[in-house]
Every structure is written in C-alpha cells, then in structure tokens.
C-alpha cells in the first residue's frame, strides 16, 4: 500500500476536494483504495456522503482503543473504503502531546495495513494546521501531494510546507518521505495572476508540478453539498476531466517510482 498525504497548512486550497476526487478516481481505475480522513472537520467524510455517527475515527486507533482495521468502513464506491473523521480527532493534539512517539504513532498503527496488501493506495486528507495531526500524516506517508491555490499567498505557504517536509526527513521521523507533487488548483487561465503563480512554481519545482491544472469551477465547488464526486455531479465537465487527468498523472508517477 502506497501512502500519499495531501497536505498544505493553508485552508481552502483544495486538499479535501483533491483527496475525494483522487481517491475515487483511483478506485474507478480498479485499484483498492483506503481514504483516511484525518481532519476533525470531517469534510472528506461528509463530502463522500459517508457520515456514520457510530463509525470510529482514527482517534480511537491512535489511543489504542480500537484496532485500526475496525475503524474502516465501506463506502458506496467500489474499491474504496474510508476511515471517517469526527470532532473527536481534534483531541489527538492534546492526548498525544508530550508522548515520545506522538508523531510516529499513526505510522506504527498503519504499518500492518501497509504490509497486508489489502489496499493498493491510501490517501490521507489533513487539517489546515501544522499540528500533530498533520505532522503524523507526513511521518506515515511515502509521499506528499501539495495542492496549491493559484494566488500569491499560496507561494509563501509552499515554502513553509516544503520546510516542514525537510524537517520530518531530517529529524528521522520519516527519512524516506518524498515530495510527490504540487497540484495547482482553482486555476484561471484567463488571468495573469494564475499564469504567473504557475510560472513561479515551475521555476523551482519543474519536476514536482503536475502538468494538469485543476480549473476554478462552480461545478467542483457544488459537488460536496450533494455528497457527490465531480465524476457524478458533472461527468462531462472540465472539472471531472481535470481530476481524471490528475489521477492518470498520479498513477504514472507512482508506476515510474515502482520500477
């Protein structure tokens, strides 16, 4: 199981939208996918129409109350299971603070799942902060995909998260962590701003930046309120095509790595 964490400490940049549509996209391609909603706001959980009040979140597994496998629930999508989030998860920041293994706990509880072969991919959606949840998700991952909004403040945020990835590697929490990609979101090809932000990112991250840019699209922003992915909400639209292209690029990158 290859684990990709979707991270950016800024909110509203498309982490959740990308987590949902990438995970379902990969599942649609016939791969087995586990989606871990690691944000107490639970937008991925509700956006998938998966909110089951009784389902445990990863909080219970992190505190050794429930084995991680028992936290997994099925979704209505073939090949896609989820570990749901709920507000309990925010307690992790307090409960784990000060524990020696705080950052490695998620990595350790995921290890048996990773080795089991039950899933091909795990996508982790993270909250918009640099706290224990986010750093744990980086420590548990093989690589990070950073969604980046096409605006100037996005670039400042990028420098910060790249620094955090470097720290996670250097401190030994996860020396093998890779920057798997930078995905430009809410792209508007008619504006000079979008083009110049992309040019700036390309200058420093020519390899990492995804060729696909996710366009700003009302259809994409509407879809979670219907509990639908973009593939169902507007299958023929530019948003669905963009996320299919993101999925294809993601799988190509992964296959190139695996060789």
Interface residues toward Mg ion, by CB under 5 A: 15-16, 43
Judged by CB under 6 A, the residue of 79, 86, 194, 217 near ligand ADP is: 217
Judged by CB under 6 A, the residue of 36, 122, 220, 246 near ligand ADP is: 220
**Minimum CB distance to Mg ion smaller for 14 or for 25:** 14
CA 102 to chain centre: 20
- By a kind-dependent CB cut-off of 5 to 8 A, residue 157 interacts, out of Mg ion, ligand ADP, none, with none
Judged by CB under 6 A, the residue of 110, 184, 214, 240 near ligand ADP is: 214
The span from the CA of 70 to the CA of 54, in Å, is: 12
Please give the size of the binding site for ligand ADP, defined by CB under 6 A: 17
- By a kind-dependent CB cut-off of 5 to 8 A, residue 244 interacts, out of ligand ADP, Mg ion, none, with none
Q: Does 181 contact ligand ADP by CB under 6 A? A: no
- By a kind-dependent CB cut-off of 5 to 8 A, residue 133 interacts, out of Mg ion, ligand ADP, none, with none
**Minimum CB distance to ligand ADP smaller for 4 or for 217:** 217
Instruction: Identify whether the C-beta of residue 84 lies closer than 8 Å to the C-beta of residue 52.
Output: yes
The span from the CA of 163 to the CA of 155, in Å, is: 13
34 — phi, psi (to 5°)? -115, 125
The span from the CA of 19 to the CA of 16, in Å, is: 5
Q: Does 107 contact ligand ADP by CB under 6 A? A: no
Q: In angstroms, give the least distance from the CB of 215 to Mg ion.
A: 19
Burial status of residue 96 (CB atoms within 10 A of its CB: 0-12, 13-18, 19 or more): buried
**Minimum CB distance to Mg ion smaller for 120 or for 148:** 148
Sheet with 121-125: strands ordered across: 72-74, 80-83, 33-37, 121-125, 2-6, 143-149, 178-185
Strands (E), 115-217: 121-125, 143-149, 178-185
Instruction: Identify whether the C-beta of residue 215 lies closer than 8 Å to the C-beta of residue 242.
Output: yes
- By a kind-dependent CB cut-off of 5 to 8 A, residue 25 interacts, out of ligand ADP, Mg ion, none, with none
Q: What angle do CA 25, 240, 18 make, to 5 degrees?
A: 55
Considering only the stretches 70-78, 97-105, 170-178, 216-224, report the one whose residues sit in contact with ligand ADP under the rule CB under 6 A: 216-224
In 3D space, the residue among 127, 133, 137 whose CA is nearest the CA of residue 96 turns out to be 133
Q: Does 180 contact ligand ADP by CB under 6 A? A: no
Q: Does 194 contact ligand ADP by CB under 6 A? A: no
Q: Does 16 contact ligand ADP by CB under 6 A? A: yes
Which residues of the shown chain bind ligand ADP in the complex (CB under 6 A)? 11-17, 43, 128, 185-186, 214, 216-217, 220-221, 224
């Amino acid at each position: 199981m290859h684990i990709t964490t979707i991270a950016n400490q800024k909110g509203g940049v498309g982490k959740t939208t990308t987590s949902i549509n990438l995970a379902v996209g990969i599942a649609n391609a016939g791969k087995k996918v586990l989606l871990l909603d690691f944000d107490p706001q639970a937008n991925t959980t509700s956006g998938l129409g998966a909110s089951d009040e009784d389902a445990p979140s990863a909080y219970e597994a992190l505190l050794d109350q429930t084995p991680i496998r028992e936290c997994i629930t099925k979704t209505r999508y073939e090949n896609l299971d989820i570990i749901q989030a709920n507000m309990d998860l925010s307690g992790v920041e307090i409960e784990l603070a000060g524990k020696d293994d705080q950052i490695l706990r998620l990595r350790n509880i995921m290890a048996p799942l990773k080795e089991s072969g039950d899933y091909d991919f795990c996508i982790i959606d993270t909250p918009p902060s640099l706290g224990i949840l986010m750093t744990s998700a980086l420590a548990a991952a093989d690589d990070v995909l950073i969604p980046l909004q096409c605006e100037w403040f996005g670039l400042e945020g990028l420098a910060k998260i790249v620094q955090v990835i470097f720290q996670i590697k250097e401190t030994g929490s996860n020396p093998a962590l890779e920057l798997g990609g930078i995905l430009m979101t809410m792209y508007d090809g008619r504006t000079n701003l979008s083009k110049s932000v992309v040019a700036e990112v390309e200058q420093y991250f020519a390899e990492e930046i995804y060729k696909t840019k996710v366009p700003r699209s009302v259809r994409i922003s509407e879809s979670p309120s219907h509990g639908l992915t973009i593939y169902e909400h507007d299958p023929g639209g530019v948003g669905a095509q963009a996320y299919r292209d993101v999925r294809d690029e993601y799988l190509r990158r992964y296959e190139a790595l695996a060789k």
